[in-house]
Structure 1
Amino acid sequence: MDLKYARLHASKRLLVPFSSYMRSHRNNLFISAMRLQGGERVIDLGGTVEFWDSVLVPLNLTVLNLPGEPHDYSKSSHHNVSCVEGDACKITNYSDQSFDIVFSNSVIEHVGGPEKQRMMAREVRRLAPRYWVQTPSIWFPIEAHTYMPFWWFYPEPVKAYFMRSWFRKLPEWTEMIQGTSVLSHREMRELFPEAKIMTEHLIGITKSYIAVRA
């Protein structure tokens, strides 16, 4: 393995226990906040079928991803799963209030700049009366995508240096980093004015924000 990328892989492995804990904690919060009874129509914007394995309440689950993204049509699940293609910023497949709940985990920061984020927020609010939209916070010491400490506070020339280095070996991943636009608590509140903006913590440090409308 190239030593330049050994840190990325090592950091990811070290964070696995924390990620697993946060996923389980977040799923329990979701189940509680949405008062799931079973059978709810849920659309997951930009997610995976595997993510829902630990949500034991059986759901009518639709997983939407961009065309060309991998789709797990054949996976066995305790949910009634449908995988579809579409753009979370402009969903033409479904009319208003087609679902009971919209769910999105760490996606809105990847759709583009502020206008694209506003478009996705409008789609979330249009598709269902209830929703749960999570996004990472810049204040957590280890950035969720690069695994670099305090990545968002680096001067632009320093970030550009790393980007050039990463792009030579990991172009698609680097493009994903370049297209990431993180949101503040205030920006989440502006995008989802009728929601409660929950702050998620890990070891007392702000890790993410969740717009919840139950």
Structure 2
Amino acid sequence: MPDLKQTSRKYATSFYHMVAKSWKKKRFMQFIELVKPLAGEKVIDLGGAQGTFFYENIDLVKEYDLQVVIADINPDSLKVAGSRGFSTYLMRENELPEMEAGVFDIVFCNSVIEHVTFPKECVWDYTQDDFYIKALAIQKDFASNIERISKKYYVQTPCIDFPVESHTWLPAFYSYPMNRKLHVERLKKISKYWIKTTTPDYNLLNEEQFKSFFPGATDVFCNRVIGFAKELIAYRADS
């Protein structure tokens, strides 16, 4: 008899990916509308993993003649991205400060900056509450380098104020209370029983924090769902 937990996770994940596919298309069109990439421009997808975002919009990638490079710290993910026809770039954690400006025309960063915090191997063990302040400083530096290396960019991240936390699919899971030790302990427990598993490497942002990260942006705003701020967007187009 199939394991109920595994079966539930399988169907929940399939449903999520089905819904997310339509969101990704809308997000891609928003990226095109706001950043206005030119034919032949080179786009680096920071933290693009297997290149799924652009692969699921490959018809639009071809239509707009974008040269997409998938950048990630996971070599196995990049193998998949390469098999999908994308150029790839294997990054080290926190390598962005070393990257030269002007190599890429556009930086695209989708649901990644919230995960740019501590080294992945230590996130389960770090339970001090200064995680939030230290993570914020790392994220701010990451954002500054996005502004530095490219004239144009599009950065998206989930908003901490949305009632359902996107990494766990649970109500207000991350926000209340802001207690690092409790957060890690709860994640360990729900990973055993809940349909959505995740790793405590993320630090969610509010609109004010996110806006302060991108002083050179053309605009920073939030996409709302039934009145709630669901995701934050920062972009810069050609001036």
TM-score (norm 2): 0.74
Query: Which string of whole-angstrom CA distances, capped at 9 and with x for unpartnered residues, describes residues 57-110 of structure 1?
Result: 22121111114452122223xxxx311111463237741122111110011100
Among 174, 189, 209, the alignment partner of 2:232 is: 209
CA distance in structure 1 between the aligned counterparts of 2:11 and 2:165, rounded to whole angstroms: 14
Post-superposition offset of 1:149: 2.0
Residue number in structure 2 paired with 1:82: 87
Q: Which runs of 4+ in 1 moved over 3 A?
A: 1-18, 153-161, 166-170
Query: Is 1:146 paired with 2:146?
Result: no
Instruction: After TM superposition, list the pairs within 5 Å mapping 1:1-214 onto structure 2.
Output: 3=4, 8-47=9-48, 48-53=50-55, 54=57, 55-56=60-61, 57-71=64-78, 72-76=81-85, 81-87=86-92, 89-91=94-96, 94-112=99-117, 113-155=135-177, 156=179, 159-166=183-190, 174=198, 176=199, 178-195=200-217, 196-214=219-237
Q: CA RMSD in A?
A: 2.7
Structure 2 unaligned regions, length at least 5: 118-134
Structure 1 unaligned regions, length at least 5: none
SS in 2 for 1:84: strand
Residues 52, 160 of structure 1: alpha-carbon distance in 2 compared, 3 angstrom cutoff: closer
CA distance in structure 2 between the aligned counterparts of 1:49 and 1:14, rounded to whole angstroms: 20
Contact 1:194 1:213 in 2 (8 A): yes
Amino acid at match of 1:162: R
Residues 4, 160 of structure 1: alpha-carbon distance in 2 compared, 3 angstrom cutoff: farther
Contact 1:88 1:123 in 2 (8 A): no
Q: Could you tell which deviates more after superposition, 198-207 or 144-153?
A: 198-207
**% identity of equivalent residues:** 29
Residues 158, 67 of structure 1: alpha-carbon distance in 2 compared, 3 angstrom cutoff: closer
Residues 187, 135 of structure 1: alpha-carbon distance in 2 compared, 3 angstrom cutoff: same
Contact 1:106 1:134 in 2 (8 A): yes
